[in-house]
């Protein structure tokens, strides 16, 4: 069956939320700031919220966000921005009774040679159930169903001194489809992860009225390019407008903005 990724609790498809059956993991983000040649440790706590004794496995993966913010996973050590090779976990397999909690120690050892080209790196630490259930059939054969639950912990390593924050608006352009859709394309050109907000404003050149479209929030890795699509209101009055798209990455980063003059028929 399907594996699920959640912020704190993974649950099976079709279950009511009030049951809270699955696995609970806290915290779900580990942020390190380890200098080259040194190490640091943090704790992750896993609670079995299922009703039966369950076995768990723990492992690392590389990952990126694509241009719309979805997670794309790869084997550990493949991504040039991975810190998986620097991370160790003190247990990769354990078993818990219902309600029982396990403590996992996560250690990050930053290599000495990373001082030559320090940069932010990251990986994902997964905790996943390995329990299987066997069902009998009318023919006498047994079918095995793997009812898997999975929670991911984000691991970020930003060496001391990596503080540059910068975002660039690369383009603002109309999309060629049947709806009035416009796309902002931005890129993180700094050295640290950014938490961004983007919005668009319409200014009527006829009557001076303004319309602000709902903002969109998203994180942005260093070097990452991100697409943000906005759809204009359906009942927008005909005429010419100035369309302004804005990327806001916080008080420490200069706003990025682009403009278009459009006409609504």
Distance CA(156)–CA(108), nearest Å, equals 10
Closest C-alpha among 82, 102, 100, 95 to residue 157:
82
191: three-class secondary structure by DSSP: coil
86: CB partners within 8 A, 6+ apart: 108, 109, 110, 111, 121, 157
pLDDT for 115: 77
Burial class (CB in 10 A: 0-12, 13-18, 19+), 192: middle
- Residues paired with residue 139 on neighbouring β-strands, in sequence order: none
| pLDDT tens sequence across 186-203 | 999 999 999 999 999 999
Give the architecture (CATH level 2) of 167-264: Sandwich (2.60)
Q: Where are the domains of the chain?
A: 9-157, 167-264
Instruction: Please answer whether residues 169 and 188 qualify as being in contact, where contact means their C-beta atoms are separated by less than 8 angstroms.
Output: no
pLDDT for 78: 94
pLDDT for 138: 58
List of the chain residues with pLDDT < 50:
1-9, 11-19
pLDDT for 4: 35
Distance CA(117)–CA(36), nearest Å, equals 10
CATH 2.60.40.10 correct for 9-157: yes
Distance (Å) of CA 149 to CA 4, 8, 9, 127 = 6, 12, 9, 8
Cα-based angle 213, 218, 221 (whole degrees, multiple of 5): 145
| pLDDT tens sequence across 229-261 | 999 998 899 999 999 999 999 999 999 999 999
Distance CA(204)–CA(236), nearest Å, equals 10
Distance CA(66)–CA(224), nearest Å, equals 8
Cis check: omega of the bond before 170, within 30 degrees of 0: no
pLDDT for 9: 45
């Amino acid at each position: 069956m399907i594996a699920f990724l959640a912020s704190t609790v993974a649950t099976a498809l079709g279950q009511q939320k009030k049951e809270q059956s699955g696995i609970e993991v806290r915290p779900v983000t580990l942020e390190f700031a380890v200098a080259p040649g040194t190490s640091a440790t943090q704790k992750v706590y896993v609670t079995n919220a299922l009703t039966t004794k369950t076995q768990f496995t723990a492992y690392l993966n590389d990952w990126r966000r694509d241009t719309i913010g979805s997670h794309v996973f790869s084997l550990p050590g493949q991504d040039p921005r991975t810190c998986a090779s620097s991370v160790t976990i003190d247990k990769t397999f354990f078993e818990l009774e219902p309600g029982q909690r396990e403590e996992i120690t996560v250690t990050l050892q930053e290599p000495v040679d990373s001082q030559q080209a320090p940069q932010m790196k990251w990986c994902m630490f997964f905790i996943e159930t390995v329990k299987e259930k066997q069902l009998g059939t009318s023919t006498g054969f047994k079918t095995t169903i793997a009812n898997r639950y999975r929670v991911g912990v984000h691991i970020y390593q930003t060496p001391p001194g990596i503080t540059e924050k910068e975002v660039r608006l690369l383009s603002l352009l109309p999309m060629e489809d049947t709806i009035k859709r416009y796309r902002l394309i931005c890129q993180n050109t700094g050295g640290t992860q950014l938490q961004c907000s983007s919005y668009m404003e319409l200014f009527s050149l006829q009557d001076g009225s303004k319309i602000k479209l709902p903002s969109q929030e998203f994180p942005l890795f260093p070097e990452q390019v991100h697409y943000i699509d906005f759809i204009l209101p359906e009942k927008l009055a005909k005429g010419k407008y100035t369309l302004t798209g804005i990327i806001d990455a916080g008080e420490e980063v200069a706003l990025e903005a682009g403009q278009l003059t459009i006409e609504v028929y």
